[in-house]
């Protein structure tokens, strides 16, 4: 019973109540602000940069194939890549690039079966993906 009186006396102190209200308000504000912060921005940027770089390399390769003409490429990525922590090595981490989910190639020579075969071969071998993940059209 003595502790109950001490607690009620402690709560009757205006400074203690004011400090508790301030701490509670700050906690609620921090929780509310955390919903506005984007935690995945860096990963998304890395995936988009990798896709753009890969598209540029593929476009350079494909544009040199005879009969392709003007070409455009679109890549879809499966994930944003990974950082793997290594043990017993000099380097601490190893980056694994995002995996390519699919490729669309639109080119002037997309109606010629020989050009389609050459472009398909170049894309599948350079990205190490299966041919069912590649669409080539005019």
Q: Residue 106: which pLDDT band, with cuts at 50, 70 and 90?
A: very high
80 and 24 in one domain?
no
**CATH number reported for the structural domain that contains residue 54 in this entry:** 3.30.300.30
Domain that holds residue 67: 41-137
124 and 81 in one domain?
yes
Quote the number of domains for the chain: 2
Residue 57 C-alpha from the chain's centroid: 20
pTM flag (> 0.85): no
pLDDT of 51 above 70: yes
116 and 84 in one domain?
yes
pLDDT tens, 31-42? 888 777 765 555
23 and 57 in one domain?
no
Sign, Cα dihedral of 95, 48, 66, 117: positive
Among 69, 85, 68, smallest CA distance to 122 is for 68
Residue 22 to residue 30: CA distance in whole angstroms: 12
pLDDT of 2 above 90: no
52 and 117 in one domain?
yes
82 and 67 in one domain?
yes
Residues 103 and 133 sit within 8 Å (Cβ to Cβ): yes
């Amino acid at each position: 019973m003595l502790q109950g009186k001490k607690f009620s006396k402690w709560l009757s102190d205006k400074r203690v109540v004011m400090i508790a209200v301030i701490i509670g308000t700050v906690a609620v504000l921090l929780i509310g602000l955390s919903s506005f912060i984007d935690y995945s921005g860096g990963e998304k940027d890395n995936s988009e940069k990798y896709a753009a770089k890969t598209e540029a390399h593929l476009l350079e390769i494909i544009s040199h194939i005879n009969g392709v003409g003007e070409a455009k490429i679109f890549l879809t990525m499966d994930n944003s890549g990974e950082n793997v922590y290594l043990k017993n090595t000099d380097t601490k981490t190893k980056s694994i690039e995002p995996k390519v989910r699919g490729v669309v190639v639109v080119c002037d020579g997309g109606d010629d079966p020989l050009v389609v075969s050459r472009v398909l071969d170049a894309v599948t071998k350079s990205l190490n993906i299966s041919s069912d993940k590649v669409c080539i059209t005019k």
